[in-house]
């Protein structure tokens, strides 16, 4: 069985990552990354992306290609329904890749793939009530409930980053609404808060770090770790809002585990442990306060690894439920 190989592909908003994986989750090559090729209209060039995969498909042991995409994907057909970062609407990625390389192709949204990586090879093995959450340029996730992936009526479950928390004083969100929790906690929100503090002249630490008068998310995290009071306030406020959001999920769904990944989560080594501590008073039951685990993702690129895990599972080469109910 270990001779079987899948090609895992993660198509993000700016980079395409590829790697060959075996059924135990071992990487059989270095992770290769390339910039997403965009055409002159700013639309990601699907044919050029297909070409990027070519060198990896020469391995005769490849049984399938698994794809993770940063948007809404029809899991059955592999069609990219809406991928805002790539300016894609109804692009039949799965079909195009399958026709070009004559292999089965399994595509899904990145948060689903990241959760599957955790369920099969990561920290969510043997857990039956799990949420994955990405905090990066956006905030969202996917759910595994009662031992099954949960996608909801239309397949859009897990969009907890778009719960409105303040439509009066809040910010415009990429989803079209105003005041979603994402607009307060995602990377761009942290950079914006840092910029406001800098522009008011309230943080000497950020003033030292600013480049051409601009503040990045990373600079705010660095200043926080150096105990800059205003940066600490910003990160504490992000943690508080993430905790309010995730505690709502736990109070509704009685989760046992939340795994967090994404650029903001990697902003500081203590980010997830601070969330794990801060969330307790927001939880309703003593049982949740005692038992809820909040963990950082197991892999550097969970969506990429999960694209491989999902392909093995859908090929029938890994028993998904077996992996969780051993």
How far apart (Å, rounded) are the C-alpha atoms in residues 300 and 102?
A: 30
Say which residues have a Cβ less than 8 Å from residue 63's Cβ, sequence separation at least 6.
Answer: 4, 5, 6, 103, 104, 311, 315, 317
DSSP state string for 269-311: TTHHHHHHHHTGGG-SSHHHHHH-EEEE-SSTTHHHHHHHHHH
Shortest Cβ distance from residue 119 to Zn ion (Å)? 27
Nearer to Zn ion, 173 or 206 (CB): 173
For the chain, the residue count is 326
Nearer to Zn ion, 46 or 180 (CB): 180
How far apart (Å, rounded) are the C-alpha atoms in residues 209 and 219?
A: 7
Shortest Cβ distance from residue 180 to Zn ion (Å)? 3
Nearer to Zn ion, 162 or 209 (CB): 162
Shortest Cβ distance from residue 130 to Zn ion (Å)? 23
Residues at the contact surface with Zn ion, assessed by CB under 5 A: 162, 173, 175, 177, 180
Q: Are 309 and 106 in contact (CB under 8 A)?
A: no
Q: Which strands form 88-91's sheet, in the order they lie side by side?
A: 72-73, 80-83, 88-91
Nearer to Zn ion, 82 or 321 (CB): 82
Q: Are 143 and 158 in contact (CB under 8 A)?
A: yes
Nearer to Zn ion, 165 or 317 (CB): 165
Shortest Cβ distance from residue 298 to Zn ion (Å)? 28
Nearer to Zn ion, 164 or 319 (CB): 164
Shortest Cβ distance from residue 160 to Zn ion (Å)? 10
Helix (H, G, I), strand (E, B) or coil at 135: strand
Shortest Cβ distance from residue 182 to Zn ion (Å)? 5
């Amino acid at each position: 069985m270990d001779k079987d190989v899948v090609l895992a592909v993660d198509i993000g908003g700016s980079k395409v990552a590829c790697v060959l994986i075996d059924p135990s989750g071992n990487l059989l090559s270095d992770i290769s990354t390339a910039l997403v090729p965009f055409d002159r209209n700013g639309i990601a060039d699907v044919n050029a992306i297909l070409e990027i995969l070519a060198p990896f498909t020469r391995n005769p042991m490849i049984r399938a290609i698994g794809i993770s995409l940063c948007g809404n994907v029809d899991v059955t057909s592999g069609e990219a329904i809406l991928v805002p970062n790539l300016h894609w609407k109804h692009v039949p990625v799965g079909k195009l890749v399958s026709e070009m390389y004559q292999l089965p192709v399994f595509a899904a949204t990145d948060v689903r793939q990241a959760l599957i990586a955790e369920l099969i090879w990561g920290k969510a093995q043997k857990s039956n009530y799990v949420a994955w959450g990405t905090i990066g340029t956006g905030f969202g996730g996917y759910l595994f409930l009662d031992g099954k992936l949960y996608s909801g009526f239309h397949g859009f479950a897990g969009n907890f980053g778009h719960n409105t928390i303040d439509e009066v004083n809040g910010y415009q969100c990429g989803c079209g609404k105003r005041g979603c929790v994402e607009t307060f906690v995602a990377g761009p929100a942290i950079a914006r808060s840092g910029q406001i503090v800098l522009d008011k002249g309230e943080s000497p630490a950020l003033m030292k770090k600013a480049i051409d008068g601009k503040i990045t998310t990373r600079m705010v995290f660095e200043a926080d770790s150096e105990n800059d009071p205003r940066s600490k306030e910003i990160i504490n406020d992000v943690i508080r809002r993430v905790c309010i959001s995730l505690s709502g999920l736990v109070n509704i769904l009685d989760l046992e585990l939340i795994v967090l990944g994404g650029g903001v989560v990697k902003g500081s080594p203590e980010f997830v442990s601070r969330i794990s501590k801060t969330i307790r008073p927001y939880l309703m039951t003593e049982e949740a306060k005692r038992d809820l685990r909040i963990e950082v993702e197991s892999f550097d690129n969970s969506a990429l690894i999960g694209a491989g895990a999902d392909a093995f599972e859908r090929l029938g080469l890994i028993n998904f439920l077996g992996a969780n109910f051993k």
